[in-house]
Structure 1
């Protein structure tokens, strides 16, 4: 009987990232997908700054940035004319090494992840479908339908459902998926074209009718059109063609389409599963939460799920932690998913709302307010922090302790950079580590050496104070680079007690 440590159902970005992180940490996953080949008409585009920060751990960030497209600005149109331009090229300057909006289509993204996964000797098993599973003692027994139609019974220690909004894993677990479906029909068109909206920037139409956005892609004259259909056309979504929706883009944003590469329609849901874990089975990505595309959050949130779960599974499977560490996955991720769905729902409802008042707000009030907001550094910073996911935190969660400076346990470690260096360089390591900004005690140095816990001591500089870091305390960082302990003293017994209380015996660095 075939056996694996972790059986991953679904080879979208969430499943692939989970498999990659596990492989890097010395765990051999098995990943299957019912499709015969990777997707070629995917919808997700944005790779947020927090994802790029985490991708440094697998040396993926540079490849994404080099092959993707950095968006210089967002333009808002009313009545056939651009009325506001919001610069984006350095909107998060000083907050992250990736202070911009990066466009990297999901299909290209998946190919990169598959290539990196194959370097670990792991291949996606295609045309292979999960038919059911049950927990049996110390593992999961699953039934797989293979490409030749044969049924395979396999075992794994854990199962990860990364199989999308119609997840068979979620249905097998009988986990509720409350929420709703937006009335609008969405369409996506990948085109080659020309016109003022093909200048490499993002363009959004705020007019009275359907929502429409033009997203730039790498390469001359390439763009992705994303829009809604609300009138009688929505009733025949199954048969809609690009010709049925393209006239509005041509008329309102002066788009000249020279070649249509692909076109599809779909409905958008906003739902969060009641539970992200049942026993040895976990839900991640769209299997756990779906929401509107506002802000480009969906794929990035699924990737965040994968990284959160990967280091915990690796710790447990390698003997570096007790199984109760896995209890922290659901509370940490479900809280963010619920907040995200509520936030994107409000934004999406505003840009797609119907009626005279909604039209007035979009076409008159928004063009007046947006330039003022764009001119304020605080407004730009708030927008970037929210969309980039660098403000995602696990404050108040079981694995998060203390406060030092403005940094709480559970926060993402703030980035501090000046002419003398970058405090994120050591975060490429996938193990536990300690950061000190200022001075530390001989006891701390001796304890970290004895326990092989990497200790990074940075001489105090103004850049650290500006970032909100506390002086001469310490920060214990988790393998996913979030702060586990923020402490003002230099007593290593605080770390010792933390590991003992949580049943963790740290694994250091990558194998």
Structure 2
């Protein structure tokens, strides 16, 4: 019987990243997908800074940045005229090595992930579907439908449902998926065009006409249009063609279309599963949560799910942690998913709302406020912190402890960089490690050496104080680079106690 450590259902970005991380950590994976080939079109575009930071652990960051397109600015239009210009080129300066907005379409993204996964000797099994599964003791048995129609029975220690909003895994677990569906029909079109909105920047129409955003793609004159379809046309979404889309917003943005390469319509949902785990089965990505496209959060959140779960599964499977560590996957990720759905829902509802008051806010109030906000560095930084996911944290969660400087247990480790070095360099290795900024004790040095726990001691510099890091304390970092312990002491017994209390044995 075909047996793996983890059986992954679905080979979108979430499933592929999970497979990659697990493979890098020595876990045997099997990944299946019911489609015959990777997607050649996509809706997801943005790769947020936090995702790129974590991709350093897979040596993917530089490739993503090189192949993608950095958006220099966002422009807001009303009545056919630009009313606000928001510079984005270094909007997150000092916060991250990737202080920009990166566009890298999902289809290209998936092809890159597939290439790297094959380097580990793992291929996606196409035209293969999950029929059912059951859990018996310490094993999960799955029934797969193969390309020739035959059924295969296989076993795995764990199963990961990365199979999208219509997840077979979620339905098999009988997990509720509460939420709703927005009334608007959306369209997406990849085009070649010319005009002032094809200058490599983001353009957003705030007019009372159909909502429209123009996203730049790599290459001369290439862009993606995302817009709404209202009135009676929305009732025939399945048969709509690009010619049926209202031209008013397109003309308002002065987009002169030369070619339409791809066009599709879809509805937007906002839902979060009641549970992200049941026994040995987990839900990730769109199988666990779907939300509006506001802020480009969807694909990045699914990738975050995968990274959070991967190191925990690897630890448990290797004997480096007790199975109860896996309980923290749901508690950490479901809280973020619920906050995200609530936030994107508010933004999305404002941008797409109809009626006189909504039009007044968009066309009169927003054009007045946006230029003022764009001119304030604090406003731009707040926007970047929110959208880039660098402020995503697990404060108050079971695996998070303490405070040192302005950093709490559960925070992403702040980036500190100057001419003398970069404190993120050691994070390329997905392992437990200790950071000290300043001086530490002989006991800490000896204990870390004895237990083969990497210890990185950085001479104190002003850059660390600016980043909010505490002097002479320590930070215990999880394999996903979030802070497990922030402590002002130099006492290794704090770490020893933490590992014992949480059933973690990273020295296996």
TM-score by length of structure 1 reads 0.99
Cross-structure match for 1:137: 137
Runs of 4+ in 1 over 3 A off after TM superposition: none
Q: 1:506 and 1:230 mapped to 2: Cα distance?
A: 55
Q: 1:137 and 1:489 mapped to 2: Cα distance?
A: 43
Q: 1:100 and 1:372 mapped to 2: Cα distance?
A: 21
5+ residue gaps, structure 1, are none
Cross-structure match for 1:108: 108
375-384 or 154-163: which moved more? 375-384
Deviation at 1:246, TM superposition (A): 5.3
Cross-structure match for 1:367: 367
Q: 1:336 and 1:209 mapped to 2: Cα distance?
A: 33
Q: 2:476 and 2:202 mapped to 1: Cα distance?
A: 39
- Counting only pairs closer than 5 Å after superposition, residues 65-464 of structure 1 correspond to structure 2 as 65-245=65-245, 247-464=247-464
Q: 1:110 and 1:153 mapped to 2: Cα distance?
A: 28
Deviation at 1:248, TM superposition (A): 2.4
Residue 26 of structure 1 aligns to a residue whose secondary structure is: coil
Residue 311 of structure 2 aligns to a residue whose secondary structure is: helix
Residue 140 of structure 1 aligns to a residue whose secondary structure is: strand
Q: 2:445 and 2:186 mapped to 1: Cα distance?
A: 57
Deviation at 1:274, TM superposition (A): 0.1
CA contact (8 A) 1:187 1:263 kept: yes
Cross-structure match for 1:18: 18
CA contact (8 A) 2:44 2:299 kept: yes
299-308 or 252-261: which moved more? 252-261
Q: 1:146 and 1:27 mapped to 2: Cα distance?
A: 24
Q: 1:435 and 1:367 mapped to 2: Cα distance?
A: 46
CA contact (8 A) 1:473 1:489 kept: yes
Deviation at 1:507, TM superposition (A): 5.2
Q: 1:451 and 1:377 mapped to 2: Cα distance?
A: 45
CA contact (8 A) 2:410 2:482 kept: yes
Q: 2:139 and 2:366 mapped to 1: Cα distance?
A: 54
5+ residue gaps, structure 2, are none
Deviations 1:267-287 (A, max 9, x none): 000000000000000000000
CA contact (8 A) 1:432 1:507 kept: no
Deviations 1:280-325 (A, max 9, x none): 0000000000000000000000000000000000000011111010
CA RMSD in angstroms comes to 0.7
Q: 2:276 and 2:228 mapped to 1: Cα distance?
A: 31
Residue 319 of structure 1 aligns to a residue whose secondary structure is: coil
Residue 271 of structure 1 aligns to a residue whose secondary structure is: strand
Deviation at 1:251, TM superposition (A): 1.6
Cross-structure match for 2:54: 54
Residue 301 of structure 1 aligns to a residue whose secondary structure is: helix
Q: 1:146 and 1:11 mapped to 2: Cα distance?
A: 16
256-265 or 303-312: which moved more? 256-265
Cross-structure match for 1:467: 467
Q: 1:410 and 1:118 mapped to 2: Cα distance?
A: 33
CA contact (8 A) 1:431 1:507 kept: no
Residue 247 of structure 2 aligns to a residue whose secondary structure is: helix
Deviation at 1:211, TM superposition (A): 1.0
Cross-structure match for 1:483: 483
Residue 497 of structure 1 aligns to a residue whose secondary structure is: helix
Residue 309 of structure 1 aligns to a residue whose secondary structure is: helix
Deviations 1:467-494 (A, max 9, x none): 0000000000000000000000000000
